[in-house]
Amino acid sequence: MALNDALSFFGTEVLKKERWEKRRWPYYLILPLSFLIVLWVAVKKGICLVMYGCTPRMNSLFFDGLGRVCREIKEGAASWKALDLIYGYSSTGNLVDDFWVNMMNAQAVRNRLEMVKGYLMDSSLEVARDGQEVRIMSLACGSAQAVIEILVTLKQLGIPARAMLIDRDSTALDYAAKMARNRGIDVELVLASVSQVKKYSQDFQPQIIEMVGLMDYLSSQKAKELTQLIHTSLPEGGWYITANIISNIERWFLYWVINWQMVYRQPEELREIVDEVFGSPCCDLKLDPLGIHAVVIARK
Ligand SMILES: C[S@@+](CC[C@H](N)C(=O)[O-])C[C@H]1O[C@@H](n2cnc3c(N)ncnc32)[C@H](O)[C@@H]1O
C-alpha cells in the first residue's frame, strides 16, 4: 500500500461508525427510578451530615452497594482510574455494573475517546504529510489511552512519532507508561502541572497538544488562561484538541450518586473559550452521538 493510501485508510479506520455507542432507551425507561435514587441519596446524605457529620459509606444499594465496578468508579470519581474503568469495561456478569457502566454518560465518554483518537489521527497525518516527525503532547493525560493507541498506529505506518505525557498524578504516569510498554512504544513522562505547558513545549516542540478531561473541572477564567498558554506553546499551524461535558439528563445522578462533580458547558461556551484565543472561526466542534460531550480541534 502506498503511504498516502495507507494514511487515508488508517484515518478512516479510526472513526469506524460501528464504534459509536448510542443506547438511550433503557436509560430513558429507567429515568423515574433514577430520579428516585437521586432523591433518596440526597436525603440520605443530608441525614448523615446532620447526624454524624460525614457522608454515607454507601450511596445506593442499586449502584455502589451491589455494583463492584460502580463502587470503584464512585471511589475514583473524576480521576483517571474511574475513566479507565469505564473505557475498558467488559461484563463480569454483575447486572448492576452492566447497567450503570453502560449508562449514557459512560457510553458518551467512550465515544469521546474515539473522537479524540480521530482528531489525533487526522492532525498527525497532516504533520506527517509535511514530512515532519509527529510530536504529541498530552496534558492531564491520565491513562493516555487515545495518544498511546494513535502512536501504535503511527508506528505500524512507519511514521516517526513521539509523545510527551504530562500529569500531576504519578500513578497516572506509571499506568500510562506500563500501557505504552505493553504496546511496544516509548513515551516521555513529566510529573507536572498543566500550567507548565510552555516550559515543557520549549524543548519538546509539539505540533499537537491534547487536553481532554480537564476543562470539565475548570472555571471559565482558568480555562481561558490555560487555552492562552497552550496557544503560545504551539507553533504556527499547530493543533489543539480539547473537550467539555454538556449538561444532560443524567447529571444529577452523577452528582449525587456517583459523587462526580463537573463544570457543564454548552458547546457554544466551549467554542467561545477556544475561539477567543485561537481566533474565530478556527475550530471544528463535534458532539458525540449522544450529545453529551463536545470535542474541539483548533488550529493556530
Ligand atoms: C478526568 S482525568 C482525564 C484523563 C485523560 N485525559 C482522559 O481523558 O482519559 C483528569 C486528569 O487530570 C489530571 N490533572 C488534574 N489537574 C491537573 C493539573 N493542574 N496538572 C496536571 N494534571 C492535572 C489528574 O491527575 C487526572 O489524571
Taking alpha carbons only, the member of 37, 92, 96, 40 closest to residue 70 is: 96
Which amino acid type is present at position 217? Y
For the chain, what are the domain ranges? 19-106, 107-299
Q: Is the pLDDT of residue 279 over 50?
A: yes
pLDDT at 165: 98
pLDDT at 19: 77
> For residue range 157-179, what is the model confidence (pLDDT) as tens digits?
999 999 999 999 999 999 999 99
Q: Are 164 and 137 in contact (CB under 8 A)?
A: yes
pLDDT-based confidence at 99, cuts 50/70/90?
very high
> Does ligand 1 have an atom closer than 6 angstroms to the CB of 216?
no
> Does ligand 1 have an atom closer than 6 angstroms to the CB of 212?
yes
Q: Is the pLDDT of residue 16 over 70?
A: no
> For residue range 182-237, what is the model confidence (pLDDT) as tens digits?
999 999 999 999 999 999 999 999 999 999 999 999 999 999 999 999 999 999 99
pTM: 0.93
Ligand 1, residue 84: give the atom nearest the CA.
9
What does residue 135 show for φ and ψ, rounded to 5 degrees? -125, 115
End-to-end CA distance of the chain: 32
Report the chain's mean pLDDT, rounded to a whole number: 94
Q: Are 75 and 67 in contact (CB under 8 A)?
A: no
pLDDT at 218: 98
Cα separation, 22 vs 76, in Å, equals: 25
Q: Is the pLDDT of residue 11 over 60?
A: no
Q: Are 270 and 285 in contact (CB under 8 A)?
A: yes
Cα-Cα-Cα-Cα torsion 37, 41, 44, 45, nearest 10 degrees, comes to -170
Ligand 1, residue 87: give the atom nearest the CA.
9
- 184-191 long-range contacts (CB < 8 A, ≥24 apart) are 184/152, 184/155, 185/148, 185/151, 185/152, 185/155, 186/162, 187/144, 187/147, 187/148, 187/151, 187/162, 187/163, 188/162, 188/163, 188/164, 189/164, 189/165, 190/164, 190/165, 190/166, 191/167
Q: Are 203 and 137 in contact (CB under 8 A)?
A: no
pLDDT at 3: 52
> For residue range 43-59, what is the model confidence (pLDDT) as tens digits?
999 999 999 999 999 99
CA distances from 120 to 79, 272, 275, 286 (A): 22, 22, 19, 14
Q: Are 22 and 29 in contact (CB under 8 A)?
A: no
Peptide bond into 281 cis (omega under 30): yes
Q: Is the pLDDT of residue 10 over 60?
A: no
> For residue range 141-153, what is the model confidence (pLDDT) as tens digits?
999 999 999 999 9
CATH of the structural domain 107-299, one choice from 1.10.3720.10, 3.40.50.12280, 3.40.640.10, 3.40.50.150: 3.40.50.150
pLDDT-based confidence at 1, cuts 50/70/90?
very low
Q: Are 184 and 214 in contact (CB under 8 A)?
A: no
Q: Is the pLDDT of residue 78 over 50?
A: yes
> Does ligand 1 have an atom closer than 6 angstroms to the CB of 173?
no
pLDDT at 225: 97
Which amino acid type is present at position 293? H
Where do the DSSP E strands lie in 68-214? 134-139, 161-167, 188-191, 208-211
pLDDT at 281: 72
The vertex-208 CA angle with 150 and 81, nearest 5°, equals 55
> Does ligand 1 have an atom closer than 6 angstroms to the CB of 190?
no
Cα separation, 58 vs 71, in Å, equals: 8
Cα separation, 252 vs 261, in Å, equals: 9
Pocket-testing residue among 79, 80, 170, 240, ligand 1, by greatest number of atoms within 8 A of Cβ: 80
Ligand 1, residue 113: give the atom nearest the CA.
8
* Distance in Å, CA 213 to ligand 1 centroid: 6
Q: Is the pLDDT of residue 2 over 80?
A: no
